[in-house]
Amino acid sequence: MRIAFYSTKPYDRIWFAPLAADYGFEISFIELPCKKETLGLAQGYDAICIFVNDYMDKEMIDCLHTMGVKAILLRSAGFNHVDVRAAQGKLEILRVPSYSPEAVAEFAVTLLLAVNRHIHKAYARTRDFNMSLNGLMGMDLNQKVAGVVGTGKIGQAMIRILQGFGMQILAYDPFPIEGLKVEYVPLEELFRRSDVISLHCPLTAETKNLINRESIAMMKEGVYLINTSRGGLIDSDALIEGLLQKKFGGVGLDVYDEEEGIFYEDCSEDIIEDENLARLMTFPNVIITSHMGFFTMEAMQAIANKTLENAYALERGLPLVNRVQAVVPV
């Protein structure tokens, strides 16, 4: 099998190249993102492999199908960046449903602790030998209420960690997990009662801008909001308004709704034209990281393993257990 591997970073080669050799696959590592303009680089390949900030619309899928490409290998769990319906009957879409839930959950807690205890500000101060504690006061997490939106594998890992802090857990999920030791409540109640809200749900038409002006208005004053899932869950304009109104004690974002061309890239010499992202960076109680919640050795190894297992199953005609299919309305 020949695979065109888009949006390649140095760490991708470390994990994928040796494993591909074991399978006998030929991978062409392409540093460019997958766009209409770069799709021609997939000519002559059996499959392409894309990441979260690549995208695949109907026109691109039709083009791949014409070129004889058989599959889109997603090295991610989410698939909101692919027009799944357009691929039906033309290309297989194979994802990595789980790699390391703990990696993402641990990072979400890291963001919470950092923004709550002002680690980012304290680090910058002490580098200049400013040891003042003014403005660095946080709050105990013990006995506070945490609202976890989405109780899949990552959400469950988050719940276990927060329970270790002695927090009361509220949860929302349209498909509750039986036996999970949390209090499932309607979303509006979770917004009203939570001291900390952490998002662990996929980006769908139903969850787009889940955090908006109306939901922010329901929240407690001084609430902490953490998002390590998908940027589109939050309306950035509404978030900025809430920050200006001092609604939030702190916000930790590992994702952003307009990441393409910025996240995973070195833009330190560029003028950032995204006004919302630039504005968010100015708030002292906001920490933004570069979609790195997944980025552990264990997770990268699991992503490489599962991605190439999917390719192997496709090549050998085995059951495609990680196939993504469009949901047909009843």
Catalytic residues: 230, 259, 291
- Please, what's the b/e burial string for 189-202 (b: 16 or more CB within 10 A of its CB; e: otherwise)? ebbbbbbbbbbbbe
**Cα separation, 125 vs 285, whole angstroms:** 15
Tokens of 18: 């040796």
E strand segments, the chain? 2-5, 26-29, 47-50, 71-74, 92-94, 145-149, 168-172, 183-184, 196-199, 223-227, 248-253, 286-288
**Cα separation, 141 vs 323, whole angstroms:** 40
Write the DSSP symbol of residue 185.
-
Query: Which residues pair with residue 93 across a beta bridge?
Result: 72
Using an 8 Å Cβ cutoff, are 251 and 120 in contact?
Answer: no
